Amino acid sequence: MIQLIVSDIDGTLLPYGQKQLDPSIFSLIHRLSQQGIRFCPASGRQFHSLRKLFGPVQDELCYLCENGAILYGSGTEEAAPILGRTVMEHAPAMGLIQDILALEGCEVLISGANCSYLYQCDDSFVARMRDGTGNHVRVVRSLEEIKEDIIKISAYCPAGAAVPEKALGGKWPGIFRMAVAGAEWLDFTLADKGIGLRQLCGALGIPLENTLAFGDNWNDLPMLEAAGHPYLMASADPRLAEKLPRQCTSVPEVLEHLLETGCLLEC
């Protein structure tokens, strides 16, 4: 029995290059809710950004944000309860920020609960995060201006994440979890989407075996491995397909089949 559906966004529910969800997903979410099935976006994105993306149904959803570092229950943006949060230790977080800034061409994004802090960045990066991604942003002149707990640190690598991945991955293993979150992004947390899913299921009282999950990238792997019924997008890295043989080309197609037949689509 499926009680909870968690889906990655970029490259999974939202094709790369597109900025708006297909409106049909909102009616699917309503129909799932009528059958007692909850829907939860699971993304590296910020809470505010995810809510904007799901506008018509934004108050009805749970949210697994910042790659599992913070979870929200349903409700308005101001009233939605925090169901789980995993905080980074301050001293190593500061060291990671400096390491990212030392990489040529990379920008750093520092995430609080629902605010993105930008430091030593150019105006185009501010515009990208505020206007393109839709984040709450604050530009700080000093890291001491960040008074809240840090839950995620990201490196934006316009030239590609491969070189920064090698430079940073060798220094921080065992301290932070590093996840490739698209061609240009590296995310660092103490959590991951698998930890987030387990926390969410615990908060909602839903067994992991009653969860259906969709993803397309390496940062989705812990979530897909934890879920009772995982689907990998067919466009994913072939190395992921070796770990997750059940694939699909369309999340709405799988959900429609579930609603019509009560069974999962075998792809």
List, run by run, the mean pLDDT of 10-residue segments along the chain (267 residues). Answer: 96 91 95 96 95 96 96 97 96 96 95 97 95 94 96 95 90 87 89 96 98 94 97 94 93 95 82
Cα–Cα distance measured from residue 194 to residue 220, given in angstroms and rounded to the nearest whole number? 8
Tell me which of 3.10.520.10, 3.30.300.130, 1.20.1270.360, 3.40.50.1000 is the CATH number of domain 4-85+192-261: 3.40.50.1000
What sign does the CA torsion over 111, 66, 75, 233 have? Answer: positive
What is the per-residue burial (b if ≥16 Cβ within 10 Å, else e) of 135-173? bbbbeeeebeebeebbbbbbbbbeeebeebbebbeeebe
Q: Which pLDDT score, from 0 to 100, does residue 179 have?
A: 86
3-class DSSP assignment, residue 89: coil
For the four alpha carbons of 186, 165, 244 and 222, in that order, the dihedral sign comes to negative
State residue 156's pLDDT score. 96
Amino acid 124: pLDDT: 95
Annotated domain spans of the chain: 4-85+192-261, 90-189
Question: Looking at residue 61, what is its pLDDT?
Answer: 98
- Is the domain covering 90-189 a CATH 3.40.50.20 domain? no
